[in-house]
Structure 1
Amino acid sequence: MADAAELVRLLRLRAAPLPSPPQRSGPSSRPQRSGPSSRPQRLLRALPRRRPPLSLRCRALDASRPAAVEGERGEEDVFEDEEESYFSVTSSGLSQVDYLGQSTRGDLNVRRERLEALGGNGESTLHGPIEEIAWKEAGEAETLLHDLGIADPFSVRHSPRGIFCTRTLNLRSISVIGYDMDYTLIHYNVMAWEGRAYDYGMDNLKSMGFPVDDLKFDPDLVIRGLVIDKEKGNLVKADRFGYIKRAMHGTQMLSTSSVSEIYGRELVDLRKESRWEFLNTLFSVSEAVMFMQMVDKLDQGLVPAELGPLDYKGLYNAVSKALFRAHVEGQLKREIMAEPERFVEPDPELPLALLDQKEAGKKLLLITNSDYHYTNKMMNHAFNRFLPNDVGWRDLFEMVIVSARKPEFFQLSHPLYEVVTDDGLMRPCFKANSGGLYSGGSAQMVEKSLEIHGDEILYVGDHIYTDVSQSKVHLRWRTALICRELEDEFDALVQSYDQKEKLVTLIQQKEIVGDLFNQLRLAQQRRSNSRPAQTLAATCMDDHELTESMQKLLIVMQRLDEKIGPMLESDGELFNKRWGWLSRAGLWDKSHLTRQIEKYADIYTSRVSNFLHYTPFMYFQSQEQTLAHDGHSYARGENIKVQ
């Protein structure tokens, strides 16, 4: 009921005069949002100028807290007017664990004295069974959300801009939200950014003597979540268990039979870093394209002999070194800083989403591996034009840490430096303070300075290993993964729905035909051994009839295979013609990428601004995880008798 509580807050604030919003003049006026993303002031203007009825105030009682939890007066009171205070917020010291195992820290409660005035726990304001009341309230809430022009979380969840939950997360209990920058707060045009990284990397390879003049950047060659096999010069897609489903050698896809022959006895094991390289992020695209193209050159014998005897692993090391030079030498970033509009895709909703979180009492952190000059330039470009006149991007964050050296930032302790001038001059320091701008340090230092640790912190990033896995494994922070490709996959799934239905129907038909064929085959086997078949009718079948039926069924299945095979090969090609779906490996199973997301990310979504369509008080609940036997155990409308 936290969203209802927020509505009560808006209703009560409506009685007070609203401050005039900051005004801009000229073409740089701040864009106004409409629909589900409107600012609270716009919502307030649509609400009546009267105090809410007492029954509505009581509906704000959090469902996970049957009784109010009183905080320290003056510190926990959050809604006061000239007459009285109705609500309190559960403090860390008084928080408990709800029935889903989530902390109640940050939950909104009706103050104890108000409950006592209403009859103990507010039951006197509720008439009838709670199931009937909840049904009615849910219907009224849905209607009110529609009337206010606000999309409810259920409809948002079933859209490309949804936030998807793998482990239940009470956002109200989160005190600190940390953000990565590149491909998280700032999304780059992949063709532009990775294309230039590819160009600089290829220039470095050329200077080393590699033949690269006829090669061009092809971002469709790879997708996130694939795995480079450095020993065999292959790029592979594995399912959640590590079995390889598709593979490419150089730039040529391998047949299903070749994949089975090469990898039939092998599983992808990401712990063997000397062999397998997982494409964790969009930054991996340029490296993977370079490597696969150079594998072709090596196979064709075009790599000069003076470079020494090179195997695929040595070739990968050369490519990785060339691309690393492109990143650290600075020319690439200087080009991006000079023309950020070429590389950065603007998102006007993003700063407003962070502003909502900050105003809700969350402490926001920026923790990035990028240096100060690059960070400042990119954040100024992406944020400041969409914020109110008197707010800059630095004002959003409690603390900014650049050159963080993740993943070591989450594992080790590095020296901490404070950035003290606009040109990046730094001095050593031993303690981080609120509002500071720092370089280096460690996650433990952040926890100590904020006096907050573990599951009170949510970290949001795009890199499965550097951002999500390591903060989860070493610190037990809550985690969110940003994966922009989800939007394209969602749209492609919708477009391919009819085709998939046809494919599933054919597979089901083959399964039924195959069941009959197998039963007839068993009957024939028993008959040949002078044993009765499974049933009297099967035993009495004529030999010729049995053979004819089996022959016909076998032909039907073969014809179905001819139809099903190409359809399976093309499944997912609307997302990527070579690799199919991002989140799936084959028709039914999850990809290795999805397995990593489910293991390490509590929530995942396509962009940070999607938080704007929820609230800072959202209670994310994970979805039911289906099991292989669920379809049998939950059969509806049938009486299942266990023999």
Structure 2
Amino acid sequence: MLNSRSHCYRLASEAFSPPRRSITQSRQLEDLKQLYEVLKHESQSSTYPYSEKINPNGIFANNELDLQKIKVYGFDFDYTLARYKPTLHSLIYDNAKTFLVKNLRYPDALMNFSYRPGMGARGLHLDIKRGWLMKVDSYHNIQLGTVYHGMRAVSDEEVLAAHHGTKLTIDVVGYLGRTSNMFQFVDIFSIPEITLLRDVTQYFIDNSIPFATEYVHYDVQEAVSAFHKSGAMHRIVGNNVETYFEENARLKTFLQRLRDANKQIFIITNSAYWYVNHGMSYLLGENWQDFFDIIICQARKPSFFAEQKRPFREIDVHKNSKSWARVQKLEHGKVYVEVCWKIAFQWNLPCRFCSKGNLTNLISMTNWQGNDVLYIGDHIYGDLADLFLKYGWRTGAILEEVEDEINIMNSDAFQKTIRWLTVLQWLTNKLQVIPGPEADLVMKNWLAEQDAERAKSRDLLNPYFGSIFRTHTVPTYFHRRLARFADVYTSNVCNFLSYPLDYIFFPRRLALPHENVLPTPDLNLLLMKSISLCVYVCAGRFNDDITRALLPDASEDKRREIDERKDLLFHQLVKENLQPTKGLPRIIAYIQENRSKFKLGLATNAIPSVTEFGLTFIKIDMKTFLDAIIIAKELGIKMYLKLTRRLNVEKNTRIVFEDSASGVRAAVVAEIKRIGVLTSAEKETLEEYGTWRTVKNFEGMNWDEIFTALTLC
């Protein structure tokens, strides 16, 4: 009796270990084209998701962060503790547009324009000289297909000619997103600015108005900045909090949780106190100050974080006055500023006479140590960079786009696109080693299809610029800076409520280019989550057991269809990589010559299709070569007892070839003589469970000796 368990284990490991896949060994173009058809059908018809769905409200780690070690929590205000409705973007756009027309004499026709979501994205770069908006990756390469001049897509040829390729030098792109050549739009307030810049540029182009792109950029920048610095935006928003602020019922619960755990809490914001007071009163109630140990307004970040010192000034928010006494310590419930207070308090203006920064004073008064503090903000440069690099504080970034993008990535349309794109890239990589004009033509077609699938995935996120976090294959410049300056990031500060205060955020282990990574595309197409599941299936479990577990809601007909497709794909992948156990052909020939001397049976827990495939491979006709076949879901004594009854032979004339410890143990109980085949287990293990003999393989075995031993038992 022969057991195919060892063959199945070997099939799985050889078929799905990248260095030994049959498809990588085969240089036959026709085989690869056939595999393309099989995989394409599988990826486009499969109802199983390409990957586990991501929690859009999760917190994601760039660096390990242990919350148990955090004693102090600090926050920015805008787009961190306070979230704004989309109406704010329309407000900024409309007022900046009005400034251009009324103050800078831009054409009156611009007043007919309105803000449209999706025209801009955080993290974009502007080629100031040419007026081109573009997405740049983490290696300073321009992502072709994301370059726009106004509303016109700049052709790849124009981009390559202008920049002599796609690579930008550090002098051009800068380190913190700003040089004389390039400007990076980093915060979410910049999205209406990008939209207005595109609209004005396109209007000038459409109406043949001569213009210098630098001037348009600087004018739009001035218009948006004036709306901020004049205090107009804060007056409108602060006096209409219901219109512009999002309600956040979880915020009070989150802050109270920190206070109950004896954590210290502070705010450092560039906004004026009166504005923060209006917003916080709306979000937390009139006694919102009770949640915070220290409140610092009008901080002028990032200058606040510089090394020079300027004393804090305490303000009395009730008497509209400032204290003349030197601040010796920062006290709970009091408000401090770092600018000429009267102007700042009333109009949200910075003081031109202030020296740069006083974080040094803050640290000296509080004795906060770097690793004890977690500061959370939305601006990776203005809020996080200096704290992370110079002071060793732990940092968290709040990016609303995370939730939006994850919801799209979880959609069926995106999952199906990425599934096929990943497999197509894998196939294209295998095709590269096949020479010849026909292979070159196939490569050209596959690369074109790959570009189309990339564009499809990009358009699902944003039809102009795609994801703010990645280009096709690598992170964006924005994400590289995010990963550098933020230990963790999430879409909403209240997402921390989902994690205990002793939670450790671990970054995902990412495979380096020279490291192996699982699962691979073909495993996903087999509807398996890992190599262990693949081995589990191939080691004798039945298809319907696996598909029922993975697809509990699928009909029986659907599961049967998936089973058949999986078997087809499995056989296609392994057929050229199989080798019979050494010596097996000679043993088969001996049996055929002496067929009348004994009965032969097969007991296996391999699925029927795999059993049939294996027997066909070694050229055995089940009907004429075997007297009985027992296929069971589990290898055990019942299977062997059933086979011996079917063969109707005495127990002292029975022998089994086994490669597994469990099979040997079952044969012992069934009183069958055991020969252990060392293809999947150690010799000592099989002997411990009770083998009569052990052999490395069938080569060199003396079947006459074995037959004689049986007849003498």
When normalised by structure 2's length, the TM-score is 0.58
Partner-residue secondary structure (3-state), 1:239: coil
Between the aligned partners of 1:446 and 1:345, the Cα distance in structure 2 is: 31
Mapping of residues 187-202 of structure 1, within 5 Å: 187-189=83-85, 191-202=86-97
Q: Does 1:231 align with 2:137?
A: no
Aligned residue among 361, 380, 384 for 1:445? 361
CA distance in 1, matches of 2:323, 2:154: 55
Q: Report the equivalent of 2:328.
A: 431
Letter in 1 for 2:90: G
1:625 aligns with 2:510: yes
What is the aligned counterpart of 1:421 among 301, 317, 321? 317
User: Are the aligned partners of 1:464 and 1:596 in contact in 2 as well (CA < 8 Å)?
Assistant: yes
The C-alpha deviation readout for 1:547-578, integer Å capped at 9, x for no partner, is: xxx34323322332332222112223222111
Q: Which amino acid aligns with 1:163?
A: I
The answer to whether structure 1 residue 590 and structure 2 residue 475 are counterparts is yes
CA distance in 2, matches of 1:289, 1:253: 15
Residue-by-residue CA offset, 1:504-524 (whole Å, 9 max, x unaligned): 22222233233212xxxxxxx
CA separation of 1:431 and 1:349: change in aligned 2, threshold 3 A: same
Deviations 1:270-310 (A, max 9, x none): 2452222222110111222222222224445665x8xxxx6
CA deviation vs aligned residue, 1:189-229 (integer Å, no higher than 9, x gap): 1x311210111111111011112223221231111111122
- Give the alignment partner of residue 216 of structure 1, picking from 111, 114, 117: 114
1:607 aligns with 2:492: yes
Is it true that 1:514 corresponds to 2:432 in the alignment?
A: yes
Equivalences for 1:263-282 in 2 at 5 Å? 263=163, 264=165, 265-267=167-169, 269-271=173-175, 272-282=178-188
- Tell me the secondary structure at the aligned position of residue 228 of structure 1: strand
Which of 393, 404, 407 in structure 2 is aligned with 1:488? Answer: 404
Q: Which digits, 9 at most, give the CA deviation of each residue in 1:457-504, with x for residues without a partner? A: 111000011001122123221110000110011111111111111122
- After the TM superposition, which residues 102-501 of structure 1 pair with which residues of structure 2 at under 5 Å, given as runs? 158-189=54-85, 191-207=86-102, 208-211=104-107, 212-245=110-143, 246-263=146-163, 264=165, 265-267=167-169, 269-271=173-175, 272-300=178-206, 311-384=212-285, 392-411=287-306, 412-422=308-318, 424-428=320-324, 429-435=326-332, 436-440=334-338, 442-495=358-411, 496-501=414-419
SS of the equivalent of 1:497 reads helix
Q: Offset at 1:257?
A: 3.2
Compared CA separation, residues 339 and 497, structure 1 to 2 (3 A): same
Residue 379 of structure 2 aligns with an amino acid whose one-letter code is H
Alpha-carbon distance between aligned partners in 2 of 1:565 and 1:284, rounded to the nearest angstrom: 30
Q: Report runs of 4+ in structure 1 exceeding 4 Å deviation.
A: 300-303, 632-638
The structural deviation recorded for 1:617 is 1.9
Instruction: Please say which structure displays the higher CA radius of gyration.
Output: 2
Residues 302 and 334 of structure 1: CA distance in aligned 2, closer, same or farther (over 3 Å)? farther
Given that 1:410 and 1:475 are in contact with CA atoms closer than 8 Å, whether structure 2 keeps it comes out as no
Report the more deviating stretch, 158-167 or 410-419: 410-419
3-state DSSP of counterpart to 1:346: coil
Q: Distance in 1 between matches of 2:320 and 2:387?
A: 27
3-state SS of paired residue (1:589) = coil
Deviation sequence 1:422-458 (CA, Å, 0-9, x none): 3643234433422121112722222122121322211
Task: Measure the CA separation in 2 of the matches of 1:315 and 1:431.
Answer: 48
Aligned residue number for residue 135 of structure 1: none
Residue 318 of structure 1 aligns to a residue whose secondary structure is: helix
Give the aligned partner of residue 580 of structure 1: 466
The Cα of 1:180 is off from its aligned counterpart by 0.1
* Change over 3 Å in CA distance of 1:596–1:453 after alignment to 2: same
Question: Does structure 2 retain, via aligned residues, the 8 Å contact 1:570–1:580?
Answer: no
What is aligned with 1:503? 421
Cα separation, partners in 2 of 1:256 and 1:158, compared to 1, 3 Å: same
Q: 1:494 to 1:229 in 2, by over 3 A?
A: same
* TM value normalised by structure 1: 0.65
The worse-fitting range, judged by mean Cα deviation, of 318-327 and 402-411 is: 318-327
- Partner Cα distance (2:251, 2:372) in 1: 22
Query: Contact (CA 8 Å) 1:432, 1:445: kept in 2 or not?
Result: no
Amino acid at match of 2:119: L
Corresponding position of 2:443: 557
For 1:571, the equivalent position in structure 2 comes to 457
Q: 1 CA distance for matches of 2:184 and 2:444?
A: 38
User: What is the SS of the residue equivalent to 1:277?
Assistant: strand
> Tell me, which stretches of 5 or more residues in structure 1 are unaligned?
1-155, 385-390, 518-549, 639-643
- What CA distance in whole angstroms lies between the structure 2 residues aligned with 1:626 and 1:494? 22
How far apart, in 2, do the equivalents of 1:463 and 1:282 lie? 9
Q: Distance between the aligned counterparts of 1:266 and 1:552, measured in 2?
A: 36
Separation in 1, partners of 2:147, 2:329: 48
Distance, in Å, in 2 between the alignment partners of 1:250 and 1:432 is 52
Deviation at 1:618, TM superposition (A): 1.7
- 175-184 vs 318-327, which deviates more? 318-327
SS in 1 for 2:460: coil
What is the distance in 2 between the residues matched to 1:601 and 1:632?
26
Query: Take 1:491 and 1:431, find their aligned partners in 2: how far apart are those partners?
Result: 49
Distance 1:423 1:609, change over 3 A: farther
Distance 1:573 1:405, change over 3 A: same
1:228-255 Cα deviation digits (max 9, x unpaired): 2212101110111111103111222223
Q: Which residue identity lines up with residue 478 of structure 1 in the other structure? A: R
Q: What is the RMSD of the two structures over their aligned residues, measured on CA atoms?
A: 2.6
> 1:83-129: CA deviations, max 9, x gaps?
xxxxxxxxxxxxxxxxxxxxxxxxxxxxxxxxxxxxxxxxxxxxxxx
Equivalent residue, structure 2, for 1:616 = 501
Structure 1 Cα separation of the partners of residues 448 and 369 of structure 2: 57
C-alpha distance in 1 between matches for 2:494 and 2:72? 17
- The residue aligned with 1:131 is none
Gaps of 5+ in 2: 1-51, 339-356, 521-530, 536-713
Q: Return the letter of the residue paired with 2:60.
A: F
Give the secondary-structure state (helix, strand or coil) at the position aligned to 1:206. Answer: helix
In 2, the alpha carbon distance for the partners of 1:157 and 1:375 equals 37
Alignment partners' CA distance in 2, 1:452 and 1:632: 41
Give identity over the alignment, percent: 25
- Residue 26 of structure 1 is matched in structure 2 by none
CA distance in 2, matches of 1:179, 1:392: 18
Aligned match of 2:353: none
Once residues 371 and 396 of structure 1 are traced to their aligned partners in structure 2, the CA distance between those partners, rounded to angstroms, is: 18
- Cα shift at 1:580: 1.0
